[in-house]
Structure formats: structure tokens, C-alpha cells
Amino acid sequence: LTRLQYLHRIHLSDVLQLLDGKAIAKGILDSLRERVAQLVRANHPPPGLAVVLVGEDSASQVYVRNKRRACEQTGIRSVAHDLPADVRENELLALMDTLNEDPDIHGILVQLPLPNHLNKSAVLETISPMKDVDGLHPENVGRLTRGEPRFVPCTPAGILEILHFYQIPVEGADVVIIGRSEIVGKPLAQLMIMHNATVTVCHSRTKNLAQVAAGADILMVAMGKHHFVGADFVKPGAVVIDVGIHRVNDKLSGDVDFNAVSPKVRAITPVPGGVGPMTIAMLMSNLALAAKMQS
């Protein structure tokens, strides 16, 4: 679509659209469950995911539990490796080697962040690029940068699925991403470039952040700052993707102040129920791809 068509389309409806990641994720997991069941009926082993958790970070424990639950729902075999916070780096690297060699393990996930004494890059580089279902190995990062992705990091992949599902055009859109982490902001920027968006990436040193954000047709926020983004950050009729997850007063909410922003925008992801469930669905989907490539 041309930019004009894009803007026309976005203004076609003034009704706020809630981008329901939870429902899309359910559809993806349902179809994966069917595919896994077919494999098993044909006497193939189910895809296997090794989930490595180091230490007892409470947020990480919640994320890992959700991922393991998604495995159960889809018939994927998940193998837990819960290691103490003071595990030695060479022990962790040795575990990666063992998992790389294990033919029943098709994907390896190391939950981040790792304790400070461990070299994150060394650990991620030890995972076989063919089992790197988080898409963080340099080979997979490089492939995405070249526009030839194998495993796309799960959160950016989930965001693209949401945009596709709701037929929100990316081509020609002005996309502003707040955040440049290795796991969200940077791969999201690469993915958007690959899909012909015009991309601006903002971070903590960006000048006039609200003004830059307000230029976006699609604003994507992954900064880890609760309710930082208010109405002044959005252009009327924009699409807003909120990646942030915060537990405040026992309720989940995002980087975007939903109540302030939603009256102004065309579409927005809620927290919870937006990007989060899609991240998990794309992990399962990457694992299915890994199993297929290895079989």
C-alpha cells in the first residue's frame, strides 16, 4: 500500500480496536497442538524444548512457568533445567553442549536475565544456531539483519503477527520504536525494515522523545517504564503496540498509559492480553520450525 492508502485506511474507522493477542495466540497454539498430535500419531517423537532457568528471579519464574504451560497445552515435551544462581559458567556451557547433542531436544531456551557473573554472550553463542528458538545467536541475528531470517526473536515475531492478523499495513508506515534491547527493540527494527516500514529507533538519549513518537503511524513501546507513554506521545489515529509488562498493585499494566492514550488512537494492544501471549505462541512456533528443520 502507498502511504496515502495507508493513511486512508487507518482513518476509515474511528472505532478503537483492541488488538487481541490472547485470541490470536490461542489460534496459533490450537493449530500447533493439532500438528504435534499428527506427528505423534505417525509415530514421530513430539518436538522437545529445553528450558534453562538460572537462579530464582521471580519474574523469570513466572515467564518460564507460562512457557512450560504452553508446551503442555500443545503436546510439546519440555525439559526443565533449573540451576542454582551461583552455577559456574563452565557448567552452564557444558549443559548447552549436552543439549546441542541431544536428538530429542529441538530447541534450547535460556531465560534471561542471567546472574551477573555469567557471560550472557558466551552462553547464547554456545547454543546451536539450529536450536536457538529465541533467535539470539549471532548467526540468527545476522540472518535477520540480512533479511533472511531463520528464527525471529519471539516478541518481535508476535508483534508482526498481530499487525498481519488485523491487516494493519506495515509497508510505507512510519514506525517509531522506543527501546533498543537485543531481545525486543533491535530485532523489531530489523523486522519492520524487512517489511518496508520507515523506522525510527529511540532510546534513553533520544531528544524530544514525545515529539518523535507523535510522528508515528505505528508506535511500538519496549522501554520497561511503567505508564511512561501518555497522550502527548501519540498522533490521532495511530496504532500503539505496548510491549512493557509491570505488576503494579497486583495487576499487570504496560509502558503505555492505556486510559490516557486509548481515546486518541485507532488501535492498541492491551496489557495483559496483547503482546505477552504472542511471545509465547511464537516461541512454540519457532520450536515447531526447529523440529521440522532437524527431522
Q: What is the contact surface with ligand NAP in residues (CB under 6 A)? A: 155, 178-181, 183-185, 202-206, 209, 222-225, 243-245, 275-276, 279
- Cβ distance to ligand NAP smaller for residue 60 or 294: 60
- Cβ distance to ligand NAP smaller for residue 95 or 178: 178
Q: How far is the CB of 187 from ligand NAP (least distance, A)?
A: 10
**Which of the following is catalytic: 131, 132, 134, 217?**
134
Q: How far is the CB of 220 from ligand NAP (least distance, A)?
A: 10
Please, what is the Cα angle at 243 between 125 and 48, to 5 degrees? 45
C-alpha 218: how far from its chain's center?
17
The DSSP letter of residue 223 is: S
> Is-catalytic flag, 292?
no
Contact call for residues 277 and 293 (beta carbons, < 8 A):
no
Q: How far is the CB of 295 from ligand NAP (least distance, A)?
A: 28
Distance CA 173, CA 196 (A): 8
Q: How far is the CB of 123 from ligand NAP (least distance, A)?
A: 17
Q: CB neighbours of 278 closer than 8 A, spacing ≥ 6?
A: 21, 24, 25, 154, 155, 157, 158, 159, 161, 162
Q: How far is the CB of 213 from ligand NAP (least distance, A)?
A: 9
* Cβ neighbourhood burial of 41 (10 Å; 0-12, 13-18, 19+): exposed
Distance CA 278, CA 162 (A): 8
- Cβ distance to ligand NAP smaller for residue 177 or 291: 177
**Which of the following is catalytic: 111, 190, 217, 242?**
111
> Is-catalytic flag, 211?
no
- Cβ distance to ligand NAP smaller for residue 158 or 169: 158
Q: CB neighbours of 284 closer than 8 A, spacing ≥ 6?
A: 28, 29, 32, 70, 71, 74, 76
What are the DSSP calls for 177-215, one per residue? Answer: EE---TTTHHHHHHHHHHTT-EEEEE-TT-SSHHHHHTT
- Cβ distance to ligand NAP smaller for residue 62 or 122: 62
> Is-catalytic flag, 67?
yes
Q: How far is the CB of 279 from ligand NAP (least distance, A)?
A: 3
The DSSP letter of residue 256 is: B
- Cβ distance to ligand NAP smaller for residue 184 or 234: 184
Residue positions annotated with a catalytic role: 67, 111, 134
